[in-house]
Structure 1
Amino acid sequence: MASTEAAPPPGGALIRPAVAADAAALAAFAAQAFHDTYAADNDPQDMRDHAARHFGAALQAAEIADPQARTWVAEHGSTIVGFLQTGPEPPPSHENGVGSLRRLYVAAAWHGRGLARELVETACAEAAARGWRGLWLSVWERNPRAIAFYAKSGFADVGATRFAVGNDLQRDRVMLRRF
Structure 2
Amino acid sequence: MKKRVEECQLKDIELLQKVSIETFNDTFKDQNSPENMEAYLLKAYNLNQLVKELKNESSMFYFIYDEANIAGYLKINVNEAQSEQMSHDRLEVERIYIRKEFQGKGLGKYLIEKAIMTATDLNKKKIWLGVWEENKKAIRFYHKIGFLQTGTHSFYMGDDEQIDLIMMKVLN
Please, what TM-score do these two structures have when normalized by structure 2? 0.90
Paired residues, number:
169
Aligned counterpart, 1:106: 98
| Contiguous gaps of at least 5 residues in structure 1 | 1-10
Q: Write the deviation string for residues 42-84 of structure 1: whole angstroms up to 9, x where unpaired.
A: 0101101111111123322322221111111112455421110
Q: 70-79 or 96-105: which moved more?
A: 70-79
Residues 28-107 of structure 1: pairs in structure 2 closer than 5 A: 28-76=18-66, 79-88=69-78, 89=81, 97-107=89-99
Q: What is the match of residue 118 of structure 1?
A: 110
One-letter amino acid matched to 1:110:
F
Q: Could you say which residue in structure 2 is the equivalent of 1:7?
A: none
Deviates more, 1:37-46 or 1:147-156: 147-156
Taking the aligned partners of 1:106 and 1:41, their CA distance within structure 2 comes to 18
Greater alpha carbon shift after TM alignment, 73-82 vs 98-107: 73-82
SS at match of 1:158: strand
**Preserved contact between residue 101 and residue 123 of structure 1 (Cα < 8 Å):** yes
- The alpha-carbon distance between structure 1 residues 154 and 42, as it changes in their structure 2 partners (threshold 3 A), is same
Q: Is the 8 A contact 1:71 1:83 kept in 2?
A: yes
Identity %: 24
Give ranges in structure 2 of 5+ residues lacking alignment: none
State how far apart, in whole Å, the 2-side matches of 1:32 and 1:69 are: 21
Q: How does the TM-score come out when normalised to structure 1? A: 0.87
